[in-house]
Chains A and B, each alone.
Chain A
Amino acid sequence: MVSELRSGEGPMASQRGKRIAIVVMFVLSLARAIVAAEPDKVATFEHDIWPIVVKNCTACHGAGELESGLDLRTVAGVRRGGNSGPAINPTTPEKSLLLERVVKREMPPSKHGRLTDNELAIISAWVKAGTIAEHPDKIPGAVSLVRDEDRQFWSFRPLTRPAIPRVTNSARGRTPIDAFLLTRLEAKGISFSPDADPATLVRRVYLDLIGLPPNPAELDSYLADNQPGAYERLLDRLLASSHFGERWARHWLDVAGYVDTVGFDTDATNIILSEGKWKYRDYVIRALNDDKPYDRFLHEQLAGDEIYDWRRAPHFTPEIRDALIATGYLRTARDMTHEEVGVIPQNFFGIMHDTLEIMGTGLLGLTINCSRCHNHKFDPIPQEDYYRLMSMLSPAYNPNAWLPVIPYEAKIKDRGLPDVSPTEKAEIERHNAELDRQQAELRQKLMEIRDPYQQRILAARLDTLPEVIRADTQAARDTSADKRTEVQKYLAEKFKEFLTVKPEDVAAALSEDEKKSVAALEGQTAELEKSRRKWGIVQALYDVGPMPATRVLIRGNELTPGDEVVPGYLRVLCRDEKDALGAPAPVAEGSSGRRLAFARWLTNPESPASSLLARVFVNRVWQQLYGRGVVPTLDNFGVQGQPPSHPELLEWMACEFRDGGWKIKALIKSMMMTTAYQQASHRESTGSEGTNAKSTEADPEKIDPGNELLWRMRLRRLESEVVRDSILAISGKLNRTAGGPPILIEAKPDGMVVVAKKALKDPSDEYRRSVYLVARRAYNLSLLTVFDQPLVATNCLKRDASAVPLQSLMMLNDAFLHDQAAALALRIAREHSAVPEQQIEAAFRLVLVRRPNANELETCGDLLRKQIELAAREGQSASDAAHQGLVQLCHTLLNTSEFLYAE
């Protein structure tokens, strides 16, 4: 799957399970045919009749005023009938009134629509089958659209912990995860590859955990650690690194669809930021570094504002502030209300639709957005369920009390919140007012000292003017600009410079004592200024205004609202109908408690939703570490998604994760402690361990050419940010400062996007980690875009990993690469002798984290010699030529394919 700009309307079921989809569609069409042709195959009111009724009938016979007293929403209503009597005749169904009216095409009235022949056939078959007589009458209201068998689909079922399989070659497995993989490999007569060479492995681990390669000292210290548990200690050390959060936050920010900009962000040259939005990015980094459990992480992001009574808190603790910032997760959708013309209901609902899509794919791996306009065509997600979920957003994205994303005029209140409590805000204001008062006093004293000198200097200057214009000039100076006569204007302009007494003129005239006093007063003013306090802005989501009703939008259109929905959850992820009605969580006044209740429903291990939540998260982490999900369709765990390649493995890991307390670092570590992760990515490796593979073993390349069973580690191209950050780490230029407002980027006229150097506070900020650059929906840094940083329409569940010529051109020709190669050459020259072999080895160890082999040494030796000769022929001095040669070598190594992959 690739990241894709969503196309306006209608969601697409996006996954590759094409054959499954075809089968499903085929089966569906077959089912219809059977229904029409064979009355005894009629299914149920809920599944076959209900969709037709909703589309054609309930506008008049189901909502609000019931025409002719007929309510067609339920079987009971059908049985009861309307003013003309029961709609269905239970004894002779073929004489039913309902049938008569639809067959004669009296109903629905032609101005409202027309049943298709197929729909007519289905209704006829259902009525004639007479099953209504046996239909239990107790189903109330909107009858169940989700059946128990729907809840038995593999991804909707509650988790059950599978037994760890026994494997033949148990020596080749290190952890239960290996056992699940090995049992499938052994069934095919193959096994894992030998362990990867330690240098390869350590680079892989560094890139995966912190997104930066190890430097030679780090590599050596690992290689020198011969004690048992060295590998685990390496993982623990990197999991504890503050760079871990920077690396893994990027994954989550993709899932959340985080960008720093507002609106559609379509103009390359115009970046619109919303104040303080970046704090959410830093929150995610911090949460991951702190190993915040996934359930807590989600509670804060979905309902941080409902966890604490921040509206009445005397002061904001860091916890309150973080919880408010965390709700930035619900603020990532494209919000067009920064312009007055954008403040329209269509956009309000668009933001909620996008947010639900982001939540659906990112948290549950479901294309719930398909249910925006109609019941989901493939998954058991009725349209009503979609709007039940929307009801948790609508008190905050309240269409009746809209807050724009940026105030388009000064008076308008926007959605940003101060990051301090009202009490603290008042206190800060008081404090600053006192500061202003004291500073005013000091200014007065300063003026008292300076003013006499100023007057004297001015008078002296006036005295030098010819007498004829002296008085007029003084008058011109003393008259305010808007009241000057033409002559005065002329004089004021002509003598502007002359009559302006500069501070340094006054300072020079002061006595020594006065100079001391002035210095002291100025010092005090500056000192006071230091104690000035500020508050910041956080971009949170919180309930506002009187609670709005949330209604089903017919065909997804906000102009045609239907029935009001009761807040609730996805029925298919609940035990039954009742379970799906979500009572709001008890929260402080001012909020509905709906989002907190939703967050608890998601994460409570007793809730079937937690099973899917765990599966989806575990699968995504697996994809990040192994290059492909156990379920390859990361955004679709529904019927149209691809089934898991290793179902039991997924179940086991999801159980471990959820029941072990949703510990993210432990989950990552468990996936990296395996033989599967530690094995070589190619078969010819001569690893020190794992020599058990028999020479008679079948050729895995023939048995499993796609490596779906993981008989070797997958070769993974580095993500865009890792490419850039690694280059900077290697050159030594990386600025490791964490957090803060984003570093600005700019689009050049030719389309190249680079860091905006003029806007940098410090030149070294150009080399901050990529996660701290402004994140846009499009027009991101060219170096990142060319390596598949996604276009963000809603969110991105999986990065593309293309190999196109533009990448080669950028690596060869971009000034950034050349600059970094030059910095790397200086670094090598500084740290090593000028012996070519040593320089080559140093360059290899820095760039590729290994030593060169004989062929490579020869190739690079040739290159170095040729380039130095060439530079010398161009007239460069010996030392310049030597440097030039080394730069070319460094540039060449950065251009190898190997550099771009985690092997």
Chain B
Amino acid sequence: MNRVPGFFPGIGISRRALFQKSMLGIGTVAIAHLLDQEGLLASGSNGNEIGTDLGQRAARFPAKATSMIMLMMAGGPSQIDLFDPKPELQKRDGQTYPGDVEVLQPGSGNKTLMASPFKFQRHGQCGTEISELLPSIGSVVDEFCLVRSMHSDNNNHPQATRCLNSGKIFPGRPVLGSWISYALGTENQNLPAYVVLRDPDGYNNGGTTMWENGWLPAIYRGTEIQSRGAAVLDLHPGFSVPDGMQRNNLAAIARLNEERRKLYPHESELESRIRNYELAARMQLSAERVLDISGETQATRQLYGLGNPTTENFGARCLMARRLIESGVRFVHLMVPVKLGGNPWDHHEGLKEGLEALCPLVDLPTAGLIRDLKQRGLLDSTIVLWSGEFGRLPVSQHGTGRDHNRNAFSSILAGGGFKAGYVHGATDEFSYKSVAGRVSCPDLLATILNQLGLDHDQLTYTHHGREESLTDSAVTNARVIRELVM
């Protein structure tokens, strides 16, 4: 079920076979992983068995990027007020929008154009205009690619969030982080490949579905790490036993599980479970060291806005994300703070006050993350995506807000070979619809995979007899947008 012919020629090993040969327990497994990572183990007769572990794997072709941080801006940030200034809209404030408007909720029926209450300023060498609400993001504008021509398939949060994360609006599909972990494994065998840093104060709307593995093996599901308190619950024993006992237990657990697993050669979940124990053991050794930000310099802390109650929440998690990437985690999924709601960018009403309250929570930390990655030489190999699931309408809702807009939104892509200081695409004169250089969510995903050295059409998984992929380009027409990358 999880054989992918030809995708990773020449590497891969049945670690089960190793176990059967040696039965020496954990130590051997670790060695097996090391060997596996370096491609030193000859493959079995039918080789190419991948997709059940987190061992690091080479990309399909030379890659610009090796890891990714996704800053999920749940709710649908208003591109009109943040990234996509529209002089025409400013001029025609209060007039009726001349065309059809696709709305979700009531309140926009009059189609009254609503100018942005915010000013835009040119930033950096490239001179891109960014809203006054995001001065820090503006200050790093020369480091990122701003896509102003995004569009989605659905006008509601759950569907659109899935579209951005998993390429389609339907539930139950694996998300980007799962696919990337599946394809590339992870460099650091002591940490999960795919880490989720949600707000410790709660879940965003959509909860854990934003990091689900779908029908990919469960080991590729995002692992939640607590950014407050114990990094991972039960990371260390909650009782005291002599040194070495747990190691002995782990070895016995591994043997017993392997013994029983022989009966179920096709249950990938059991394989995942065995690997989880190995991972759990290794996590104990290194997780807290990686997540402990107390040793960071004052300069770094300031960069992320630590010590300031406004920016502390998101800033601390951005800093942890950098440390995780630095330690070889493949994919870090960071969720927008829930202080202002589970879908905080969802400004159906009170847009002005809402944006004024929310932007400061994420502006400085986002810029700090990009700047810090850059100064450490990590930005070239790390993609940073800042995006909501859709944008908002140019017309007012209830006089003070904006309803959902799937036809136009803006996303930021920094690092990982994406063009820096570059603006891609454009919307119409009101930012109602992306018109030039349109980029769909599956297009974006295909391009991201491309930067990671993966071909979105060839990265597949056999599910119920069908070769499934993240972008399913036969249906979505997804394509790599070459203009976005260097």
User: Footprint of B on A, CB under 8 Å?
Assistant: 1-2, 4-10, 12, 14-18, 21-22, 110-114, 116, 266, 554-557, 559-560, 681-682, 684-685, 701, 705-706, 708, 715, 717, 748-752, 778, 782, 786, 791, 801-810, 812-816, 818-819, 853, 855-856, 859-860, 862-863, 866-867, 870-871, 873-874, 884, 888, 891-893, 895-898, 900
Contacts and interface: CB of A to CB of B under 8 A. Distances in A.
A818 B238 contact: yes
B239 A892 contact: no
29 contacts: A4-B171, A5-B209, A7-B205, A8-B342, A15-B171, A16-B170, A16-B172, A111-B110, A113-B111, A557-B105, A705-B465, A708-B464, A715-B264, A752-B233, A782-B233, A791-B208, A804-B219, A805-B192, A808-B277, A812-B250, A814-B234, A859-B252, A862-B252, A867-B249, A870-B244, A873-B242, A884-B241, A888-B241, A895-B277
Contacts of A806: 223-224, 232-234
Contacts of B263: 682, 684-685
Nearest to A822: B239
B276 A803 contact: yes
B246 interface: yes
A8 B232 contact: no
Contacts of A895: 249, 253, 277
Given A9-B156, A682-B263, A16 B221 contact: no
Nearest to A893: B256
Contacts of A900: 273
A29 to B, nearest CB: 13
A856 B256 contact: yes
B279 A808 contact: yes
A559 to B, nearest CB: 8
A883 to B, nearest CB: 12
Interface residues of B, number: 85
B218 interface: yes
> Of residues B236, B245, B346, which shows the largest number of chain A Cβ atoms within 10 Å of its Cβ?
B245
B261 A897 contact: yes
Given A791-B208, A863-B249, A808 B273 contact: yes
Contacts of A891: 249
A10 B156 CA distance: 7
A860 B237 contact: no
A1 B106 contact: no
Given A867-B245, A895-B253, A809 B234 contact: yes
Interface string B50-83: 0000000000000000000000000000000000
B229 A815 contact: no
Please report whether the interface of chain A is mostly helix, strand, loop or mixed according to DSSP: loop
A891 B248 CA distance: 11
Contacts of A717: 269
A897 B257 contact: yes
Per CB-CB distance, the 9 closest pairs between chain A and chain B, nearest first, are A750-B229, A815-B238, A803-B218, A7-B205, A808-B280, A813-B234, A7-B157, A18-B170, A5-B207
Interface string B384-402: 0000000000000000000
Contacts of A682: 263-264
B44 interface: no
A555 B105 contact: yes
B228 interface: yes
A896 B239 contact: no
Contacts of B264: 681-682, 715
Contacts of A815: 238-239
Contact of B230 (A14, A555, A557, A750): A750
A222 to B, nearest CB: 22
A682 B260 CA distance: 11
A280 B251 CA distance: 46
B270 interface: yes
Contacts of A816: 238
Nearest to B217: A803
Interface string B139-156: 000000000000000001
Contacts of B192: 805
Contact of B252 (A114, A554, A860): A860
Contact of B242 (A706, A862, A874): A874
Given A863-B252, A895-B253, A750 B158 contact: no
B283 interface: yes
Given A4-B207, A12-B158, A818-B238, A859 B249 contact: no
A10 B104 contact: yes
Contacts of B251: 863
A114 B253 CA distance: 68
B302 interface: no
Contacts of A685: 263
B267 interface: yes
B9 interface: no
Contacts of A860: 252, 256
A484 B280 CA distance: 68
Nearest to A793: B207
A4 B206 contact: yes
Of listed B205, B207, B212, residue having the most chain A CB within 10 A: B207
Nearest to A10: B156
B236 to A, nearest CB: 6
A643 to B, nearest CB: 14
A8 B209 contact: no
Contacts of A893: 256
A9 B280 contact: no
B279 A791 contact: no
Which of A10, A809, A870 has the most chain B CB atoms inside 10 A of its CB? A809
B255 interface: yes
B159 interface: yes
A7 B105 CA distance: 13
B104 A809 contact: no
Nearest to B246: A812
Contacts of B218: 802-804
Interface string B373-417: 000000000000000000000000000000000000000000000
A2 B172 contact: yes
A896 B237 contact: no
Contacts of A112: 109
B180 to A, nearest CB: 17
Contacts of B289: none
Given A751-B233, A806-B233, A554 B280 contact: no
A2 B257 contact: no
B274 interface: yes
B225 to A, nearest CB: 9
Contact of A805 (B203, B244, B280): B280
Nearest to A118: B100
Nearest to B272: A803
Given A2-B208, A4-B207, A803-B273, 6 more contacts: A2-B212, A705-B266, A705-B464, A791-B208, A804-B219, A809-B283
A751 B200 CA distance: 8
Contacts of A819: 239
B226 interface: yes
B245 A870 contact: yes
Contact of B236 (A6, A748, A813): A813
Given A808-B276, A859-B255, A896 B260 contact: yes
B106 A560 contact: yes
Given A751-B229, A860-B252, A5 B105 contact: no
B156 A12 contact: yes
B475 interface: yes
